[in-house]
Amino acid sequence: MAYSFNFPLVFSYWPLFLKGLLMTIILSVISFFVGFCIALVLVSLRKSESKFARRFVAVYSVTCKAIPALVMIIWAYYALPLLIGVSFSPLIASLIALSINISPFIMESIISGINAIHKDQYESARVLGFTKLQAYRHIVLPQVLKNMTPDLLAWFITLIKHTSLVSIIGFNELLHVSNTIISNVFLPFEVYTTLAIMYILLIVCIEILLRKVVKIKYKTLL
């Protein structure tokens, strides 16, 4: 018996899809921002003189890279509240898990961006009379940002895809919303196909947009 497709019924749930999409974007952006801030702290610790700080970063980095994102999400939602006695909403638990999970990878991107800049770039500015701050602001940072942008873009896209994992703790992102729709209409093929197409469109749009912004801002050959 041939399967009869019923996409119009699925499309009639567009407000729910839209809500899921919005939640996915919000979670991705906030998690990436928090992860980036954690990564900046990690970079400064790794570049510091303190041996203890550098060792802490090494241990943190290995631990976070080794734990799968899904395990971290489950741990943040179910185990962490037992440890500290405070329970989190699915949004907060997802945020904690995803930002911690992505931070060591962002840290590596920033460090490789810095290391790719030759020391002469900074020193030539200093010897010309730039202050430390001016040398970083006008000479080093623009080049670091330019170097690490492709990497950061790749991590942001990875993070967007990782957000689908938080459906397991009941956060209303795209996959969770899709499962809810399926339980109403019993059309898994149509719903999951729509979901896959939405992810493709989302990521293609973000990639085009960010590449355009980067090209305008830093004039890269990206």
Partner 1 sequence: MKTIIELKNLSKSFGGLKVLDNVSMKINEGQSVLITGPNGCGKTTLLRCISLLENFDSGEIIICKHRVTPDTPKEEREKIIKNHLIGFVFQEPHPWYHLKVIDNLTKPLMVIKRMPKNQALKKAGDLLDKVGLGGKKEEYPYFLSGGQKRKLIIARTLIVNPKILLLDEISANLDRKSKEDIFRVINKVSKKKTLIIVTHERDELKGIAHKTVRLPELPAPERIMRTAIRGKGGY
Residues lying near partner 1 in the complex (CB under 8 A) are found at: 47, 114-115, 117-131, 134, 138-140, 142-143, 146, 218-219
Token pair belonging to 210? 């960010």
Quick one: 91 or 114, whose CB is closer to partner 1? 114
- Residue 136 per-residue DSSP state: I
**Smallest separation, CB 213 to partner 1 (Å):** 16
Quick one: 84 or 221, whose CB is closer to partner 1? 221
**Smallest separation, CB 131 to partner 1 (Å):** 7
Instruction: Return d(Cα 126, Cα 131) in angstroms, integer.
Output: 6
Instruction: Return d(Cα 60, Cα 63) in angstroms, integer.
Output: 5
**Smallest separation, CB 214 to partner 1 (Å):** 12
Angle between helices 14-46 and 141-162 (to 10 degrees): 140
**Smallest separation, CB 60 to partner 1 (Å):** 21
Quick one: 124 or 184, whose CB is closer to partner 1? 124
Quick one: 132 or 212, whose CB is closer to partner 1? 132
| Strands annotated E in 49-162 | none
Determine contact, residues 177/16, Cβ cutoff 8 Å. yes
